[in-house]
Every structure is written in C-alpha cells, then in structure tokens.
Amino acid sequence: MPELPEVETIRRGLMERLVGRQITGIRVRQALLRERVAVDTLQTHVVGRTVAGIDRRAKYLLARLGPEGILVFHLGMTGRLWLGTPAAQDAPHDHLVFHLGPDLELRFHDVRRFGMCFYTTVTQLPEHPRFRHLGPEPLSPDFSSAYLQERARGLWKPVKNFLMDASIVVGVGNIYASEALFLAGVHPNREVGRLRGQHWQRVCSAIKEVLQAAIDAHGTSFSDYVDSDGRRGAFQNQLLVYGREGQPCVRDGRLLKRIVQAGRSTFYCARCQR
Ligand SMILES: [Zn+2]
C-alpha cells in the first residue's frame, strides 16, 4: 500500500511532466472504484483544462486545474498512475485514461479498485468529507511536539495506534510508525497520556526524519509499488526494525520482536524502546 513517501515520490514525477499539459480527453473503462467515478463531472470540469500544478494532502494527489479546479486521486491499496506515450492497447485494470495531447497519456491502474478519482474545488476542499477530518502534515511546522502532547492529553491508547490516526497526523503508516518509534526509543505500547515532553520531542523529530529519509530514497517498495515512471523505491534497504522480527537490533544486537496492535504488525527492540 503506498504511504506518504511513495505518494510524494509519485507527485514529484508527475510535476515534471504533467504541469502545463492540457487534458484533451478522458476515457472511463471502469467507473466502479471505491467511490463511483462521476464521469459527467469529469467530462464537464476536467476536459479542456490545463494542469497548473500537483499538490499532495495526506495520501491524496491533487492536480490543480486553473485557479479553482482540483482533480483528486487516491491510490488505495494497489493503485498506480502511469504516465507515458499512448498505449496501443488497454491493459487489464486500466480503469481511467487521461489524454494529454497526441504524445502523452495518464493511466489510472488499480487491481483491487480501492482507489478513487474525483473532482472538487479549492473552495470546497477544506470541508470536503474526505479532507475535513485530516490532521496536520507531518513534515509541516504545524506538526510539533507541543501539538502531539496537547492532542494526547487524557488519552490511554498505545502510541503506535495514536500516530497512525489520520485525525492526529496524516501519512504515518504502519512501516513508518514502527521505524519512528525505534528511532525515538519509545515502546510502541506506551500509553500516550503518560508520555512527557521529551518523549514527544523525540517522537516528532523521528517521524520527520524517517519520512524525509524515505522520500529521499523514493519510497519503500515491498511488493509492487512503482512510481509514475515505473521506478521502484529503495527505502526497504534502510529499514531498521520493520519486517525484521528475530533479527539483531542494529544498536545492541538484541533480537527484535513483533507484536500485533489494532490488527497490524509492529516491530521493536525491547531494550532500546522503553
Ligand atoms: Zn536495541
């Protein structure tokens, strides 16, 4: 499943080649994604418009169309955006095709169809049901140790689950939550209401550090993640704890453990993380 660093990598790839291009047509082969694609809305508001920029909010890609329009993509579990010269044939699971003149097209490909594509506007976005509950971006100045401490006050949930709650902070998925807590030296089961300022400072800076390092490595490729040019990420080679149950900790050699929290595997070192 693409997480924030992978979506950010895709955004950067799309920025290089999509900005300034006009969307000359849309072909919808399968409208039944996680939400039904509003074909008429796309034909009315997207066709004929020029891509002014590509932004990201959480794991959503936002293609800005002029001053108001936004074409939104979410990749779900298995979605891919494929930018290239027009294909001679449609591949299975190519659901949407955006024509960008005679020499370029963008394909939305999604085997499991948990992805989404919809149109909104700059004005509507803050109150949009998919966006209004989202917490701050982890790499923005709004995301600070003081903010985390304030949100954690009086809560008793484990810190790993707290960090994966998108209303607290967006884009800290399962892999990066494990990695950040290892860097911070905080046990994933610690109750957030009991953590102090020094813990939150370490957690906050570890999250920023691990996400930035993953973006710099063009994301993590475990199974099938590739960016818009088909390149794989490299951060899987830098993971310190995730997926390493039973292997020695890089700091003290103690064997790493795995526990399941909220149905997801967490990896940690019982000596380094307290
Ligand atoms: Zn250790």
Number of other residues whose CB lies within 10 A of the CB of residue 117:
26
CA terminus-to-terminus distance, the chain: 29
Angle, alpha carbons 263-266-268 (nearest 5°): 160
Whole-angstrom Cα distance, residue 270 to residue 185?
10
Confidence at 79, pLDDT banded by 50, 70, 90: very high
pLDDT band at 258 (very low <50, low <70, confident <90, very high): very high
Q: Which of 6, 11, 59, 202 is catalytic?
A: 59
Between β-strands 94-99 and 105-110, what pairing exists: parallel, antiparallel or unpaired?
A: antiparallel
Triad 236, 238, 239: Cα angle to 5°: 70
Whole-number Å distance between alpha carbons of 210 and 215? 9
Q: Which helix (H) or strand (E) holds 255?
A: none
Model confidence, pTM: 0.92
Is 59 designated active site? yes
Task: Give yes or no: 3 in active site.
Answer: yes
Q: Which of 3, 8, 105, 179 is catalytic?
A: 3
Confidence of residue 132 (pLDDT cuts 50, 70, 90): very high
Q: Which of these, 161, 170, 68, 58, lies nearest to 116 by C-alpha position?
A: 58
Q: Which residues pair with 248 in a beta bridge?
A: 255
Contact 173, 164 (CB under 8 A): yes
* pLDDT single digits (tens) 220-251: 876 666 777 777 888 888 999 999 999 999 99
Express each pLDDT in 11-57 by its tens digit. Answer: 999 999 999 999 999 999 999 999 999 999 999 999 999 999 999 99
Q: Residue 225: what pLDDT? A: 65
* Å from CA of 240 to ligand 1 middle: 10
